[in-house]
Chains A and B, each alone.
Chain A
Amino acid sequence: MNEPYQSDVVFLVGFALAVVLLPLVTLLAFRWIRPTHPGGLKAQAYESGMPQASAPRRPFHMAYYTFALIFIVFDVEALLLFAIAPVLHDIGWPALAEVGGFVALVAGGLFYAWRKGVLVWR
């Protein structure tokens, strides 16, 4: 029953298992060798020798979010293009027009963002 897909997953699971376990095992194995003296000055955050001036994790610049926002839209677009790209040549010109329309729509979003001055990093 649909052998290739399932054996792909089985393989990937085995692979991922190895890749996750190996660093964990190394980390545990060397616990017996490496020194462990928690606390003291080294438990403080490193800020170039100064005491921490302000707490991190404070609300930050909105620009990060706007970029992430545009990113996700293009992310979806690029993925759909991956589905279409292999057959584009075989279907021919009408397909190209359809894809062109789609790309133009999404590029419109970029154009809008550009005009609004969102793409300037401040």
Chain B
Amino acid sequence: MMASDVLFVVFGVIAAACALYGVLTRYLLRSIVALGAFLTAVAGEFYLLAADFVAMVQIFVYVGGIVVLMLFALMLSTSGERQPLAGSDRRGLSALLAYALGGMLVWASVGAKFPAVLDRLPASVPYLGRALLGEQLFAFEFLGVILLAAVVTALALVRSERL
């Protein structure tokens, strides 16, 4: 096993553990903090998978943006202490469903065959810019539209309340 594989596994275990904790903990705040740790671990995976820019976007937007937004929302709404889990019967069923889905995904991926990854991948930054302005222009402009729509909708929602 190479060093990078070891790192991949380490990040993967951290990510899975944080995700699990974030989903299971009864403290809302800790759930959000666990999400932050999870996102950082996934950013590490992105970097290992030769997507350094995406890793930075992950840190910048997710950890520095979405997690902060969630913390704000938490602090603006609940007192953020404990919260009840759903009834235990529901929990067992959900676990079964999640197991089944996860098992299916894992089973499908173990059997699949893929071409080998290139030894030297292109540096992501200049190509990413070219892709966004060329092949993927639609995605780029569409994201602009979505962001605009998000601002308008969210502001309308928030403002509709008498504060």
**CA separation between A71 and B61, bound complex, in Å?**
10
Contact with B along A36-69 (1 / 0, CB 8 A): 0000000000000000000001111110111011
Q: How far is the CA of A84 from the CA of B66 in the complex (A)?
A: 23
User: How many residues of chain B have a CB within 8 Å of chain A?
Assistant: 57
For B51, the closest partner residue in chain A by CB is A5
Question: Which residues on the B side are within 8 Å of A118 (C-beta)?
Answer: 155, 159
B112 within 8 A of A: no
Q: Does the CB pair B141–A105 fall under 8 Å? A: yes
> Cβ of B52: which chain A residues have Cβ within 8 Å of it?
5, 8
Some 15 contacts from A to B, beta carbons below 8 A apart, are A1-B117, A1-B119, A5-B47, A5-B52, A10-B4, A59-B76, A61-B76, A70-B151, A77-B144, A82-B53, A98-B133, A109-B147, A112-B148, A116-B155, A116-B159
- Contact with B65, one of A61, A72, A83, A99 (Cβ below 8 angstroms): A72
By a beta-carbon cutoff of 8 Å, the part of chain A in contact with chain B is 1-2, 5-6, 8-10, 12-13, 57-62, 64-66, 68-73, 75-77, 79-80, 82-88, 91, 95, 98-99, 101-102, 105-106, 108-109, 112-113, 116, 118
CA distance A70 to B57 in the complex (A): 17
- Chain A proximity of B144: nearest CB distance (Å): 4
Segment among B84-92, B99-107, B123-131 that sits at the interface with chain A? B123-131
For window 110-153 of B, CB contacts with A under 8 Å fall at 117, 119-121, 125-126, 128-130, 132-134, 137, 140-141, 143-145, 147-148, 150-152
Most buried by B among A2, A9, A66: A9
Question: Are A109 and B148 interface neighbours, CB within 8 A?
Answer: yes
Question: Could you say which residues of chain A place their CB within 8 Å of the CB of B47?
Answer: 5, 8-9, 12
Q: What CA separation (Å) do A100 and B58 show in the bound complex?
A: 24
Shortest Cβ gap from A4 to chain B (Å): 8
Known: A8-B47, A86-B129, A98-B137. A76 touches B158 (CB 8 A): no
B residues near A87, Cβ cutoff 8 Å? 126, 129-130, 133
B155 touches A73 (CB 8 A): no
B27 proximal to A (CB < 8 A): no
CB neighbours (8 Å) of A82 from chain B are: 53
A91 partner residues in chain B, CB cutoff 8 A: 130, 133-134
| Inter-chain contacts of B73 with A (CB < 8 A) | 65
Q: Is the CB of A83 within 8 A of B128?
A: yes
- Chain B residue nearest to A103 (CB atoms) is B144
